[in-house]
């Protein structure tokens, strides 16, 4: 009789199944680890949110309008200031401060389009793009066109840093649009191509003129987009006025004509060409409008 002939059947079964179970459980553990690591790649790392404060808003507004000042390609000093503005934005939101990875794309002329991405839980879900400009028109420090919109977008990016959101948020800063002699349409076309490299966007929010009041106004030629934006208590839907009908002067209109779901988010209509832009708004007003902008972005990206 062999030595194994007296072994109970249950013991034989255990000896056979135990190694099999170890192999299967190890496989599940490896799969879970790989899946978790893949998920972690889409989560923000080392990003530090900052609550929106009127004092910080005021400090940033003075830096862009006074310390940096007039910024556009039409002149040596304003051209240098446009470079300083780009470096300032990159420093505020980059790895050593807020923690975003700043991607730079060469725009027409020498100044970059700056992009900061907050990854969402579902990278395949339609993203929200938040776009503002960092130039000014010649002869102006560009307060409402567009320092206040720029400051509000930066504040929203800081406030949302490290947050868990349903889909990607792209914060984009354009070097050209307020100067009528700058390559507006070429810059907008480049932005369209950058957006097209991703999935179809849910919305492209063009942030401008955020210093007139706390409540937001949403304007778009895309009636469906305007109806679907989660405005509620944050913003009022406003039909485009004559100033928004000139596609060459309104960024949201230009992007709409290029086939994008674009809306202008602001607190007042666009400045007329002969309208002065020299009144500094209250810090608390921009802070309140920036808080509303942040909430609007969150609602857009988390809505089904």
> What is each CA distance from 155 to 52, 207, 215, 286, in whole angstroms?
6, 12, 16, 10
Domains, in order of start, for the chain: 42-302 (3.40.630.10)
Question: Residue 19 has what pLDDT?
Answer: 59
d(CA 136, CA 203): 25
Indicate if the pLDDT at residue 197 is higher than 80.
Answer: yes
Q: pTM for this structure?
A: 0.85
Q: Rounded to an integer, what distance in angstroms lies between the CA atom of residue 26 and that of residue 31?
A: 9
Rounded distance between C-alpha atoms, residue 235 and residue 242, angstroms:
20
Residue 302's pLDDT is what? 93
Distance CA 217, CA 263 (A): 10
CB atoms within 10 A of CB 262: 29
How many whole angstroms separate alpha carbon 142 and alpha carbon 301? 30
pLDDT value at residue 39: 42
Q: Does residue 205 contact residue 300 with C-beta atoms inside 8 Å? A: yes
Asked if the model's pLDDT at residue 30 lies above 50, the reply is no
pLDDT at residue 91 above 60? Answer: yes
Q: How far is 234 from 85, CA to CA, in rounded Å?
A: 29
- Confidence at residue 289, expressed as pLDDT on a 0 to 100 scale: 98
146: preceding bond cis by omega (within 30 degrees): yes
Nearest Cα neighbor of 174 from 164, 189, 161, 162 is 189
Token pair listed for 140 = 């102006």
Supply φ then ψ for residue 170, to 5 degrees. Answer: -110, 115
Burial degree of 165 (CB within 10 A; 0-12, 13-18, 19+): buried
**Mean pLDDT, residues 14-39:** 49
Can you list the alpha helix ranges (DSSP code H) found in 161-275? 184-196, 223-228, 242-245, 251-257
Determine the pLDDT at residue 12: 60
The pLDDT assigned to 130 comes to 98
Length of the chain: 304
At residue 200, the pLDDT reads: 87
Burial of 76 (0-12, 13-18, 19+ CB in 10 A): exposed
Closest-CA residue to 267 (of 243, 288, 253): 288
Structural element, H or E, at residue 10: helix 9-41
In which element (H, E) is residue 159 found? helix 148-160
CA distances (Å), origin 2, targets 14, 48, 68, 122, 229: 20, 70, 92, 60, 79
Helix (H) or strand (E) holding 236: strand 235-238
What's the pLDDT band for 17 if we cut at 50, 70, 90?
low
User: Average pLDDT for residues 246-269, to the nearest whole number?
Assistant: 91
Check whether 29 has a pLDDT greater than 60. no
């Amino acid at each position: 009789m062999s030595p194994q002939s007296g072994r109970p059947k249950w013991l034989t079964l255990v000896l056979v199944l135990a190694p099999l179970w170890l192999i299967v459980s190890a496989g599940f553990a490896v799969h879970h680890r790989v899946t978790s690591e893949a998920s972690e790649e889409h989560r923000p790392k080392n990003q530090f949110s900052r609550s929106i404060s009127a004092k910080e808003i005021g400090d940033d507004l003075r830096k862009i309008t006074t310390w940096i000042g007039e910024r556009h390609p039409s002149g040596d000093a304003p051209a240098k200031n446009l470079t300083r503005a780009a470096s300032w934005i990159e420093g505020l939101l980059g790895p050593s401060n807020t923690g975003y990875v700043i991607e730079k794309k060469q725009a027409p002329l020498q100044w970059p389009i700056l992009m900061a991405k907050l990854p969402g839980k579902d990278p395949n879900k339609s993203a929200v793009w938040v776009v503002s400009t960092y130039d000014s028109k010649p002869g102006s420090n560009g307060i409402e066109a567009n320092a206040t919109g720029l400051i509000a977008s930066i504040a929203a990016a800081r406030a949302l840093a490290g947050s868990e959101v349903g889909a990607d948020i792209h914060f984009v800063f354009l070097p050209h649009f307020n100067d009528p002699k700058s390559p507006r349409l070429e810059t907008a076309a480049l932005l369209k191509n950058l957006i097209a490299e991703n999935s179809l966007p849910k919305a492209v929010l063009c942030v401008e003129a955020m210093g007139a009041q706390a409540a937001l106004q949403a304007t778009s030629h895309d009636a469906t987009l305007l109806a679907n934006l989660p405005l509620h208590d944050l913003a009022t839907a406003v039909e485009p006025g004559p100033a928004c009908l000139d596609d060459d002067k309104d960024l949201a209109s230009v992007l709409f004509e290029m086939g994008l779901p674009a809306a202008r988010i602001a607190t007042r209509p666009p400045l007329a060409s002969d309208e002065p832009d020299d009144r500094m708004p209250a810090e608390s007003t921009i802070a309140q409008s920036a808080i509303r902008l942040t909430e609007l972005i969150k609602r857009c990206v988390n809505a089904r």
